[in-house]
Amino acid sequence: MARVVKVLNRQAFSLPGITVKKSDAEFEKYNKGLLTGDLKQAFTDKTRKLWEDAGKDLAREHERLAEVLAWRNGATLPTGRLRRCKYEKCSKFFLAPQSRPGCLYCKPKLCGRNYRALKCMNKKKQRTRRRDLERVKTAMKSIPLDAPGWKERVARKARVTPNFVTYAIRRREIRFEAAS
Protein backbone atom coordinates (compact mmCIF):
# COMPACT_ATOMS: atom_id res chain seq x y z
CA MET A 1 0.00 0.00 0.00
CA ALA A 2 2.94 2.34 0.61
CA ARG A 3 3.96 1.84 -3.02
CA VAL A 4 0.44 2.84 -4.13
CA VAL A 5 0.79 6.09 -2.14
CA LYS A 6 4.10 6.78 -3.91
CA VAL A 7 2.46 6.24 -7.31
CA LEU A 8 -0.41 8.55 -6.35
CA ASN A 9 2.02 11.27 -5.22
CA ARG A 10 4.04 10.92 -8.45
CA GLN A 11 7.09 9.58 -6.63
CA ALA A 12 7.09 6.21 -8.43
CA PHE A 13 6.20 5.25 -11.97
CA SER A 14 4.80 1.77 -11.55
CA LEU A 15 3.67 -0.81 -9.09
CA PRO A 16 6.06 -3.66 -8.26
CA GLY A 17 7.05 -5.50 -11.44
CA ILE A 18 6.67 -9.11 -12.46
CA THR A 19 9.60 -11.45 -12.40
CA VAL A 20 9.74 -14.78 -14.15
CA LYS A 21 11.58 -17.35 -12.07
CA LYS A 22 13.60 -19.94 -13.87
CA SER A 23 15.96 -22.60 -12.72
CA ASP A 24 19.48 -21.30 -13.28
CA ALA A 25 21.00 -24.78 -13.78
CA GLU A 26 18.45 -25.72 -16.42
CA PHE A 27 18.81 -22.37 -18.14
CA GLU A 28 22.59 -22.74 -18.33
CA LYS A 29 22.28 -26.23 -19.79
CA TYR A 30 19.77 -24.95 -22.36
CA ASN A 31 22.04 -22.07 -23.38
CA LYS A 32 25.03 -24.39 -23.75
CA GLY A 33 22.97 -26.78 -25.89
CA LEU A 34 23.23 -29.66 -23.42
CA LEU A 35 19.47 -30.23 -23.30
CA THR A 36 18.21 -32.41 -26.12
CA GLY A 37 15.02 -34.12 -27.15
CA ASP A 38 12.36 -34.45 -24.49
CA LEU A 39 14.35 -32.47 -21.89
CA LYS A 40 14.65 -29.51 -24.29
CA GLN A 41 10.92 -29.66 -25.13
CA ALA A 42 9.96 -29.88 -21.44
CA PHE A 43 12.17 -26.87 -20.66
CA THR A 44 10.69 -24.75 -23.48
CA ASP A 45 7.13 -25.72 -22.45
CA LYS A 46 7.89 -24.83 -18.84
CA THR A 47 9.43 -21.48 -19.87
CA ARG A 48 6.51 -20.69 -22.17
CA LYS A 49 4.05 -21.39 -19.34
CA LEU A 50 6.03 -19.12 -17.00
CA TRP A 51 5.92 -16.29 -19.57
CA GLU A 52 2.17 -16.77 -20.16
CA ASP A 53 1.55 -16.60 -16.40
CA ALA A 54 3.76 -13.51 -16.24
CA GLY A 55 1.70 -11.94 -19.04
CA LYS A 56 -1.50 -12.55 -17.06
CA ASP A 57 0.14 -11.09 -13.94
CA LEU A 58 1.34 -8.12 -15.98
CA ALA A 59 -2.19 -7.53 -17.32
CA ARG A 60 -3.49 -7.60 -13.74
CA GLU A 61 -0.79 -5.13 -12.69
CA HIS A 62 -1.72 -2.81 -15.57
CA GLU A 63 -5.38 -2.90 -14.50
CA ARG A 64 -4.36 -2.18 -10.92
CA LEU A 65 -2.14 0.71 -12.00
CA ALA A 66 -4.98 2.15 -14.12
CA GLU A 67 -7.28 2.00 -11.09
CA VAL A 68 -4.69 3.74 -8.92
CA LEU A 69 -4.17 6.46 -11.53
CA ALA A 70 -7.94 6.97 -11.70
CA TRP A 71 -7.85 7.71 -7.94
CA ARG A 72 -5.22 10.36 -8.60
CA ASN A 73 -7.45 11.92 -11.27
CA GLY A 74 -10.40 12.28 -8.90
CA ALA A 75 -12.17 8.91 -8.69
CA THR A 76 -13.46 8.02 -5.23
CA LEU A 77 -10.85 6.40 -3.03
CA PRO A 78 -11.49 2.94 -1.59
CA THR A 79 -12.60 2.81 2.02
CA GLY A 80 -9.74 2.20 4.39
CA ARG A 81 -6.58 4.00 5.41
CA LEU A 82 -5.79 5.60 2.04
CA ARG A 83 -6.65 9.32 2.20
CA ARG A 84 -6.00 12.61 0.40
CA CYS A 85 -4.86 15.62 2.44
CA LYS A 86 -7.68 18.16 2.87
CA TYR A 87 -5.28 21.13 2.67
CA GLU A 88 -5.69 22.25 -0.96
CA LYS A 89 -2.12 23.45 -1.45
CA CYS A 90 -0.81 20.03 -0.37
CA SER A 91 -3.49 17.46 -1.38
CA LYS A 92 -0.98 14.59 -1.22
CA PHE A 93 -2.12 11.04 -0.65
CA PHE A 94 -1.20 9.32 2.62
CA LEU A 95 -1.97 6.30 4.74
CA ALA A 96 -3.90 7.26 7.87
CA PRO A 97 -2.24 5.81 10.95
CA GLN A 98 -4.21 3.14 12.77
CA SER A 99 -3.94 5.18 15.97
CA ARG A 100 -5.80 8.09 14.28
CA PRO A 101 -8.40 6.62 11.88
CA GLY A 102 -10.15 9.98 11.33
CA CYS A 103 -6.97 11.76 10.23
CA LEU A 104 -7.61 14.34 7.47
CA TYR A 105 -4.11 15.75 6.89
CA CYS A 106 -0.85 14.13 5.83
CA LYS A 107 1.05 16.21 8.42
CA PRO A 108 -1.37 17.34 11.14
CA LYS A 109 1.04 19.89 12.62
CA LEU A 110 1.75 21.51 9.25
CA CYS A 111 -1.14 20.89 6.85
CA GLY A 112 -3.78 20.77 9.58
CA ARG A 113 -2.66 24.05 11.12
CA ASN A 114 -2.44 25.73 7.70
CA TYR A 115 -5.90 24.44 6.68
CA ARG A 116 -7.53 25.70 9.87
CA ALA A 117 -5.75 29.06 9.61
CA LEU A 118 -6.81 29.47 5.96
CA LYS A 119 -10.40 28.56 6.79
CA CYS A 120 -10.46 31.08 9.65
CA MET A 121 -8.83 33.74 7.45
CA ASN A 122 -11.44 33.22 4.72
CA LYS A 123 -14.21 33.70 7.27
CA LYS A 124 -12.57 36.92 8.46
CA LYS A 125 -12.21 38.15 4.88
CA GLN A 126 -15.87 37.43 4.16
CA ARG A 127 -16.97 39.22 7.33
CA THR A 128 -14.79 42.23 6.50
CA ARG A 129 -16.09 42.34 2.95
CA ARG A 130 -19.72 42.25 4.12
CA ARG A 131 -19.06 45.11 6.56
CA ASP A 132 -17.35 47.15 3.83
CA LEU A 133 -20.25 46.56 1.45
CA GLU A 134 -22.75 47.68 4.11
CA ARG A 135 -20.76 50.89 4.69
CA VAL A 136 -20.66 51.55 0.92
CA LYS A 137 -24.43 51.02 0.64
CA THR A 138 -25.15 53.48 3.45
CA ALA A 139 -22.70 56.01 1.96
CA MET A 140 -24.35 55.69 -1.46
CA LYS A 141 -27.72 56.59 0.09
CA SER A 142 -26.37 59.83 1.55
CA ILE A 143 -24.38 61.05 -1.49
CA PRO A 144 -26.05 61.90 -4.82
CA LEU A 145 -24.68 59.54 -7.48
CA ASP A 146 -25.06 61.99 -10.36
CA ALA A 147 -22.59 64.49 -8.81
CA PRO A 148 -19.04 64.64 -10.22
CA GLY A 149 -16.52 62.62 -8.18
CA TRP A 150 -19.27 60.70 -6.40
CA LYS A 151 -17.27 57.46 -6.35
CA GLU A 152 -14.32 59.02 -4.50
CA ARG A 153 -16.70 60.67 -2.01
CA VAL A 154 -18.54 57.37 -1.38
CA ALA A 155 -15.24 55.51 -1.00
CA ARG A 156 -13.88 58.13 1.43
CA LYS A 157 -17.04 58.06 3.54
CA ALA A 158 -17.13 54.22 3.59
CA ARG A 159 -13.36 54.01 4.27
CA VAL A 160 -12.66 51.84 1.20
CA THR A 161 -10.89 52.46 -2.11
CA PRO A 162 -12.67 53.68 -5.24
CA ASN A 163 -11.64 50.41 -6.90
CA PHE A 164 -13.55 48.48 -4.23
CA VAL A 165 -16.69 50.46 -5.12
CA THR A 166 -16.16 49.86 -8.87
CA TYR A 167 -15.65 46.12 -8.48
CA ALA A 168 -18.61 45.80 -6.11
CA ILE A 169 -20.82 47.48 -8.74
CA ARG A 170 -19.44 45.27 -11.52
CA ARG A 171 -20.04 42.11 -9.47
CA ARG A 172 -23.55 43.38 -8.69
CA GLU A 173 -22.90 43.20 -4.96
CA ILE A 174 -24.28 46.73 -4.72
CA ARG A 175 -26.72 48.41 -7.04
CA PHE A 176 -25.75 51.55 -8.90
CA GLU A 177 -28.78 53.75 -9.46
CA ALA A 178 -27.89 57.18 -10.75
CA ALA A 179 -30.65 59.74 -11.09
CA SER A 180 -31.49 60.31 -14.76
Residue 27 lies in a domain: yes
Whole-number pLDDT of residue 17 = 55
104, with CB counted inside 10 A (0-12, 13-18, 19+), is: middle
Range of the domain at 12: 2-76
Task: Please count the structural domains in the chain.
Answer: 1
pTM value is 0.46
Residue 118 lies in a domain: no
Q: What is the mean pLDDT of each run of 10 residues along the chain (180 residues)?
A: 73 55 63 75 77 72 79 79 84 84 82 81 86 93 88 94 92 72
Residue 64 lies in a domain: yes
Whole-number pLDDT of residue 152 = 94
Whole-number pLDDT of residue 180 = 43
Whole-number pLDDT of residue 132 = 95
